Amino acid sequence: MFGNDWDKKLINATSSEYFHNLMNNVYKEYSIRTIYPPRDLIFNALKSTPFKDTKVVIVGQDPYHGEGEAMGLSFSVNNNIKLPPSLKNIYKEMYDDLGIEPATTGDLSKWTKEGVLLLNATLTVVKDQPNSHAKIGWGRFTDYIIKCLNAKDTPVVFILWGNFARSKKELITNPKHLIIESAHPSPFSCNYGFFGSKPFSRTNDFLIKNGMEPIDWNLK
């Protein structure tokens, strides 16, 4: 289903009646209205970052709801799409934190090759209706993913931006891991603790301290 070790890791979830019903409902939605991301990219995050390679998780709420934006990775948009305000602020913080010049692309796929899982808590959305699939059932599945990562033997950094992502903190109980939490990068909240939080350098400092390769955050 995912083409990597997530298949085995999530087999109890994906073989369940609950998941079967969830996918039936999701596919029905695709058949009757415009849903993002494209159906073949629903599980892009899991396909792009295998369990064994995951060193960092950035939790988003749900996909972008504008035409052509969502591509199955949290906070990421397709090439040639105007940068969303939150992503602009992420780039600004990355520049202030690490001196990395902001990228012109909003495609964060390069991070997935570095071991960053870009996971939305809800994996689909109705066009122009933010959070419209919040109650369709994705939360149970993505919480299970977080619990699997919490049980990982090797350290993982969980980056939780905003109140919704921070609500997942209760799932992360393993003292091996690091939780970095702050306000959301949205223009409405970025000045209340997101700017100056230095999530990128703090992540790399933690990984190096634990004998792991740091993340190359540069998208160029």
**Sheet of 56-60, strand order:** 116-120, 56-60, 157-161, 178-182
One-character DSSP codes across 110-134? HHHHTTEEEEESS--EETTBTTTTT
Q: Is 143 a catalytic residue?
A: no
- Side chain identity, residue 64: Y
In the three-class reduction of DSSP (H, G, I as helix; E, B as strand; rest coil), residue 66 is classed as coil
Closest to 102 measured CA to CA, from 185, 193, 214, 220? 220
CB 142 within 8 A of CB 164: no
> How many angstroms separate the CA atoms of 220 and 215, rounded?
14
Task: Quote the radius of gyration of the chain (alpha carbons, Å).
Answer: 17
Of 40, 62, 153, 216, which is the active-site residue?
62
As annotated, the active-site residues are: 62
